Amino acid sequence: MVTASAPGKFILFGEHAVVYGKPAIAIAVDRRIEVSIRRSDRPMIDGKHHGGGRSYVNSAVKRLWNNGPLNIRTHSNLPPASGLGSSAALSVATVAALLQMRVRFSRKSVALNAFLTEYEVQGRASPTDTSTSTNGGAVMVGPEGDNVLWTIEKEANNGKMNRWYVSSLELPSDLDFVVGVTGVRSSTASMVDKVKKFVDGSGAGMQIINEIEAIALEGVEALKFGDKSRLGELMNENQSHLFSLGVSHPKLEKLIDAARKHSYGAKLTGAGGGGSMVALTDEPETVMRDIELMGGRPIHVRIDREGVRIEDREG
């Protein structure tokens, strides 16, 4: 049996703009999904027989394994459909365990195959979530820069070759974040389509995308120097632009307003339309209380600097 685990993530800056080739910054969090795989006499996932289908686990198995049926078990302490990268963590942990069984494990291979797994299931994807879950810490997906970890390419449906550079970023050791889960589920695809219609139909839309890009690039420097005040200001500015793009939600706004009273800054994280928000704070317990009072589910998260790991191998 091989067991692998991978962390979730939140996007600090750049969601939606990354779809237009702009940089995005994401941070891995200390909440994980664990996947255990062993050989079996019939294919099983979490105690149930499966015959294939379109899922992250099935897609990864189809891509990487042709040596008989497998019994796969998953365990998660990441809330689904909340902007914390649960699908990416599941893809990364599954791919890592399969590659370890084939003695082909490497972080670069995990990142590539987990991205392709997500792309196949979703029909579109950027490598932001899967690369963050694979590497841990903070990563930037965007233009080529310093500390490039790997480059990922994928031909789009229109024949255009997309290329992403994934770089590691410096992180101070004293950053505390609180995530507030709204409980409102949203579709990433529908939010991306909503922004596309706005950008295509208005010159103001692309101007907002460009302003989000500038915020992400300044965020790299603020992270490098551990400037929490500036990071908070940039988070608030980013949220204002995301609101203008139409991807916020009344419950997100309530949680963000509540969290800002005792935070450097707060914003939605992920596609929006529900899901989660994130706040940078030195008073996590107070912010968690304020989020809970507004009907949200607070989660105190710390940075996971390790990324994907093989937990054990036996038998």
Q: Do 155 and 218 lie in a common domain?
A: no
Q: Do 183 and 132 lie in a common domain?
A: no
d(CA 184, CA 169): 31
DSSP reduced 3-state for 74 = strand
Q: Do 128 and 153 lie in a common domain?
A: yes
Q: Is the pLDDT of residue 50 over 60?
A: yes
Model confidence, pTM: 0.91
Q: Do 21 and 162 lie in a common domain?
A: yes
Question: Of the residues 105, 136, 171, which one is the last residue of a structural domain?
Answer: 171
Q: Do 165 and 19 lie in a common domain?
A: yes
d(CA 262, CA 290): 9
Q: For every residue of 157-187, which 3-state class applies, written as one string?
A: CCCCEEEEEEEEECCCCCCCEEEEECCCCCC
Question: Of the residues 138, 155, 171, which one is the last residue of a structural domain?
Answer: 171
Lowest mean pLDDT among 27-41, 127-141, 175-189, 271-285: 175-189
Strand ranges (DSSP E) for 77-231? 138-142, 148-155, 161-169, 177-181
Question: Of the residues 171, 189, 208, which one is the last residue of a structural domain?
Answer: 171
Is residue 306 in some structural domain?
no
Q: What is the pLDDT of residues 131-171, one digit of tens each?
A: 999 999 999 998 777 789 999 988 876 777 888 999 999 88
Q: Is the pLDDT of residue 315 over 50?
A: no
* 8 A C-beta contact, residue 141 and residue 127: yes
- Is 193 among the catalytic positions? no
CATH number at residue 143: 3.30.230.10
Domain ranges, residue 218: 177-301
Lowest mean pLDDT among 25-29, 137-141, 183-187, 302-306: 183-187
d(CA 281, CA 283): 5
Which candidate in 41, 129, 193, 257 is catalytic? 129
Please, what's the b/e burial string for 36-46 (b: 16 or more CB within 10 A of its CB; e: otherwise)? bbbeeeebbbe
CA 119 to chain centre: 14
Q: What is the pLDDT of residues 225-235, one digit of tens each?
A: 999 999 999 99
